[in-house]
Structure 1
Amino acid sequence: MTEQTVTPAEPERTAVLPEPTEAPASPGAAAPVLPPAAPPMPQQPAGAGPGSPGGTEPVRPPRRVLRAVARWTAAVLVLGSLGTGTAFGIASMERTDVPGLATEYDGRWEYPALTLPALPSGSPRPFSPGNTAQIHHADLRELLIPAPAGATVDSRIEGGWTTPEQFASEYRKDGRERIGGLLADSALRHIAARGWSMPDGTTSRVYLLRFNSTAYAEGFRDDMYIGGGPGQALDWKEDLVFDEGWEGSDKDPDTATFVFTDAQPDGKERIRAAYVQAGDTVALIVHKQKGSKPVPEVPFHQTLILQNQLLG
């Protein structure tokens, strides 16, 4: 069906002449000649006009609307660019530099970046599928957590090998001989140790004991009564209790952690201690501090978690 365009019909033009105005006749005067009247403008049919099917000219929006649209478009572009710039600026800032997002300092120590040591060629990690015996093949000294920034390293145990006697000195005198005997009977291979002190008076000791197998490490842990309680009494006047503030037991499913603290502080010295058993290796971590102020919990748990990660 062909689209049809309706063209408005040409209206009939009718000449309307005005009636002559009577003027006083004068003898011999000729009648005036009047020009013909202009024909009336044709009426526009309904629906015809600019933009309509019968129109001849497109509809133009008012200039006021065009100016308003231009202003809003410019405003959106400006706001968009400002938002993008703000987002980029926030993304490039440290969290502590962003107002409202700053993390309050919680007392943690500044440790250097930790990396796992290289392994001998062909040796697997302790908890990889190819290492069912859970043996640490890396140099034990390189698995020790480093001292944090601001620490004064103890020259007696500064990250090298140490003796069973040095390890036993962390316990009460009446139990040191027994500990020496346990170490002699447990197929001990090496002991690595590191100690340091911090400006706030906290002293730290970390020992790593590697045995010939995971079974020997577990046997030593049991002989030291670690797990059901605080174990063999450390060089401390009171027995320790489980640290109720520790929530990191699930940080590494391949290792076992046992965390303790002092039960009845006397106002002179405080202590926190923990054991980690990771395959063939057992770790002891001890933090002590003079005075009635508790040993800071955050850096102690921080040290424990990082050392656990190095062993796991």
Structure 2
Amino acid sequence: MTEQTAPPADAAVAATTTLPPVPQTPPPPPVQEEDPAPATPRPPRRVLRAALRWTAAVLVMGGLGAGTVAGITSMKRTDVPGLATEDDGRWDYPVLSLPALPADAPRPYSDPNVAEIHHADLRRLLLPAPAGATVDKELDGGWVDSARYTAEYGKDDRAVLDQRLKDSALRHVAARGWTMKDGTSSRVYLLQFSSVAYSTAFLDELYADSQSLPIPLAGEDEATYDEDWSATAGVQFTTAHAYSEPEPHGAEQVRHAYVLAGDTLALLVHSRKGEAGTEAVPFHQTLILQNQLLG
């Protein structure tokens, strides 16, 4: 077996160097690129930042606005700055409500109730004292006798009025009085008769000495019509008349009013010592509210 020997190193090198050259492929021609589509120009960063700030501001203001609206709607009108009702001198009376009637009792002005009788407890129809008032211990909303009522008139008229009350089928007299911090004294009397005919007749007796003005009250030099009160302001089926002591008044000024409401006659009195006298606004307010309770 013939032994093969490796070719010499020079021969290997020669073999590699004698190979034919590999032809080089020419590079491909450059590809003609299409013009790219024009890109939307990006806004400057300053504009973006401003837009973001305005968007955030709108969201924040929207939230604050919603919170403010919710806060205002849950507040009382007097709690909202700029919308508070200006104090016009009215007193702060409690919420009023009519007392319940006895079973099957008609209302005073319904058709079956010809005598126009108030079947509710007369004391429950008295106007309550407003906030801040000092209640009169003698006129605490209970029953009083006719002499206490006639004490509101001059000494020369009391005996005659007391006798007329005894002759007019008077059933009850309920009264409440109070004094406000400014010194205004208020008294409310409710006189209940057997029917509207008796209450009307007694009211006419108060005008017996005059065709236009009633008997003046104690401390009242002269009673004149209250020019700020309209007779049409009364509740339906009732009649309300208001009087005031004109300027210049004496040591105190007196305002009073009568409300004829079916079988009941109400007397309201406001008096105050000093030059300032009584205020018209709380007097009219008291008259309106008492009239509503009797209506």
Scaled by the length of structure 2, the TM-score of the pair is: 0.77
The answer to whether the 8 Å contact 1:248/1:305 transfers is: no
Equivalents in 2 of 1:143, 1:94: separation in Å? 29
State which of 248, 254, 263 in structure 2 corresponds to 1:280.
Answer: 263
CA distance in 2, matches of 1:87, 1:241: 50
Q: How does 1:257-268 map to 2 (within 5 A)?
A: 257-268=240-251
For residue 114 of structure 1, the aligned residue among 91, 96, 102 is 96
More helix by share: 2
> What RMSD over aligned residues (CA atoms) do the two structures have, in Å?
3.2
Gaps of 5+ in 1: 1-36, 43-48, 51-59
- Are 2:213 and 1:234 equivalent residues in the alignment? no
Map 1:40-119; keep pairs closer than 5 Å: 77-119=59-101
Superposition pairs for residues 167-178 of structure 1, below 5 Å?
167-178=149-160
Cα drift, residue 113 of structure 1: 2.3
Q: Name the CA shift for 1:61/1:85 in 2 (closer, same or farther; >3 Å).
A: farther
The CA distance in 2 between the partners of 1:243 and 1:95, in whole Å, is 32
Out of 131, 143, 146, which is 1:161 matched to?
A: 143
| Cα pair distance change 1:61/1:239, threshold 3 Å | farther
Q: CA 1:164–1:80 in 2, change beyond 3 Å: closer, same or farther?
A: same
Q: Which moved more, 1:172-181 or 1:78-87?
A: 78-87
Deviation at 1:168, TM superposition (A): 1.0
Q: Specify which of 124, 127, 139 is matched with residue 121 of structure 2.
A: 139
Could you say what secondary structure the match of 1:238 adopts?
coil
Paired amino acid for 1:137: H
Cα separation, partners in 2 of 1:209 and 1:40, compared to 1, 3 Å: same
Distance 1:116 1:278 in 2: 15
Change (3 A) 1:112 1:39: closer
- Secondary structure of the residue aligned to 2:233 is coil
Shift of 1:108: 2.1
Contact between 1:229 and 1:241, CA under 8 Å: does it hold in 2? no
When residues 62 and 233 of structure 1 are mapped into structure 2, their CA distance, relative to the original with a 3 A threshold, is same
CA contact (8 A) 2:170 2:194 kept: yes
CA–CA distance in 1 between the matches of 2:220 and 2:70? Answer: 57
CA-to-aligned-CA distance 1:47-86 (integer Å, 9 cap, x gap): xx99xxxxxxxxx98765xx79988776655444333222
For these two proteins, the number of residue pairs brought into alignment is: 266
Determine which of 142, 146, 163 is the counterpart of 1:181.
163
1:161-192 CA-partner distances (Å, limit 9, x unpaired): 11111111111111112212221221111111
Quick one: which amino acid aligns to residue 242 of structure 1? Y
1:181-230 CA distance string (max 9 Å, x none): 22122111111111222221111111100111111111111121189633
Cα pair 2:229 2:284 within 8 Å, conserved:
yes
Deviation per CA, 1:81-138, whole angstroms, max 9, x where unpaired? 3332221111122222222112222222222222211211111222345534321000
TM-score by length of 1: 0.73
Q: Distance in 1 between matches of 2:55 and 2:211?
A: 72
